[in-house]
Structure 1
Amino acid sequence: MSAKTRKQFFKVFWIVVGVVCFLIMMFPLYWMISCSLKTESEIFARPPYYFPPNPNLDAYITQLSNVEQFPIINSFKNSMIISLATMAISVVLSTMASYGLARFNIKGKNLIIFLFLVSQMLPQVFTLVPDFIIFKSVGIYNTYWAPIFANCTVAIPFSILMLRTYFLSIPKEVDDAALIDGCNHFQSFLKIMMPMASTGIVVSFVFSFLFGYADMMFSLTFINDSRMWPVTTGIYNVVGRYGIEWSRAMAFGCLAVAPVVLIFLLMERYIVEGLASGAVKG
């Protein structure tokens, strides 16, 4: 086999492997959509129907109309409150913190960065008990603020570690030029550094939002009032109470992932560019 033929063979081989892996990863999402369009008997039919024989939207209509049994609209509202607040707090704090860690000689800076990295490795369940005690003590237990602050403890370290690489990649001469032109450090950060790191900041916005939107454990632990639960906890509630009605549970899941899919479709270019740039520059 010639070198050219061998190269073409491996190229086709890795394409096939990539397509197979993509289909395996996407099959659960497809199955959820497919089951949401079936009746209960069609879902449990043997042999299974890989395509809905008689597609219908009954499960979606039930989800959106029967708000007392399936409060999905209220769950979406709760998710937006938690996600947007998590995003706002995380991006503001992590942007300033990452700039400081990248530009200033701070005592113990390497230890701080190491602790941020360790926090990303620890399972979130380790923080439940201390967070519960703190939130109970300060009086924010069973409020939106409890899961918001808990999600920020995950989103902020991630954003700092990512954004720091962007600020490190910007030459220090840019800071010096800004100071010569009359800017102080804050003005330089606001008017020059943030626009230059805008791609990374967009990625931070997206992932901070998704950290808050995808949370179930914090909300379920720190909020007792089911009327304040987000959509992820609502899915848990639906399956727990009405586990037999899988078509409705699958419809709930499809509606829940729709905002995430929409965000990735709209922001795909920025997300890919931001993550790739951060990896190269870091």
Structure 2
Amino acid sequence: MVAKAERVTAGDPEHPQERLAKKPYERELLRLQNELVKLQEWVRAEGARLVVVFEGRDAAGKGGAIKRVTEFLNPRIARVVALPTPTERQRTQWYFQRYVEQLPAAGEIVLFDRSWYNRAGVEKVMGFCTPEEHRQFLHQCPTFEQMLIEAGILLRKYWFSVSDTEQERRFRARLEDPMRRWKLSPMDIESISRWEDYSRAKDEMFIHTDTPDSPWNVVESDDKRRARINMIAHLLSTVPYREVAPPEIELPPRPRSRGYRRPPRDLQTFVPDHAAGIG
């Protein structure tokens, strides 16, 4: 199972991905996003707790998938967690502690844009943790996730798999685009020269954490459109949600005026009409 997933990640010519056309992509994405709203309302009504973990190589398409998942969701119910580098105090805590603080309460969805699996990936490869800390993580992680599941949390894990050639193409596109250059960090550049190190770390991580109760779901992501559609459709298929009837809402009649007058416009500062000059 692990070997097959890695062959896909490495861009195996036996698993080519045709680019999904824009129109069917947009049509199916909108349909799936409508279902995600139904899922959200079910989570709220049932008091369910849903955790979705997004992992994968740099530039594998995790961020774009998360944006499409949350586009029409209520940010008070569905929130994205992307934790920064741990503080000195957090470094002295139990490793999973700062992630536990982000877990959902009843009626909430949490999407982890990278997660506790940092320790099995970047920390392992870049030497940010000791071999003993890495070994301890691989030993504790399945137990930690089993505890979440036994507590009633719905846990879904997705690994976005991108080929080395496609990753490099996306890095170059970011480098040349001033609107996206901020996405390209020194750590991203380092990942190019450490491709095989990350592959080995990922394989080892899968061996220990791809369990029957908490499996990894691999998303082939050389085609971002196809990856988003496949990931969202799979997520929806794994949650036993149902459509919840919305509460009936009636707009009240607007009351009759009681003599209110707006203050003169010259007493307020309005933003300039920039739009008037762009026709």
More helix by share: 1
- TM-score normalised to structure 2 length: 0.23
More strand by share: 2
- TM-score normalised to structure 1 length: 0.23
